[in-house]
Amino acid sequence: LRTLQALERLEPGQVLVQINERVPRFLLPQAEARGFRHRIHEPAEGPVRVEFFRAPGAPSTSQEQPMQAEELM
């Protein structure tokens, strides 16, 4: 839920990076349905890095200020 809320605050050109133990399979379709795309960096060992960004042409839906990285922790 926190990730989806953070995504809604992303402005075009911004990227949200999420570090996980595994790929968040249930989150990806929810993010795509909201107009976001992702890149997955899945090394053989260690945490998975998922980069979320607003799809080209997708409108910004937030009236709030963009979220700072430390707000996500």
Confidence of residue 29 (pLDDT cuts 50, 70, 90): very high
* Res 59 pLDDT > 90: no
The predicted structure's pLDDT at residue 33: 94
* Res 67 pLDDT > 70: no
3-class secondary structure for 25-40? CCHHHHHHHCCEEEEE
Confidence of residue 36 (pLDDT cuts 50, 70, 90): very high
The rounded distance, in Å, linking the Cα atoms of 57 and 33 is 14
* Res 17 pLDDT > 50: yes
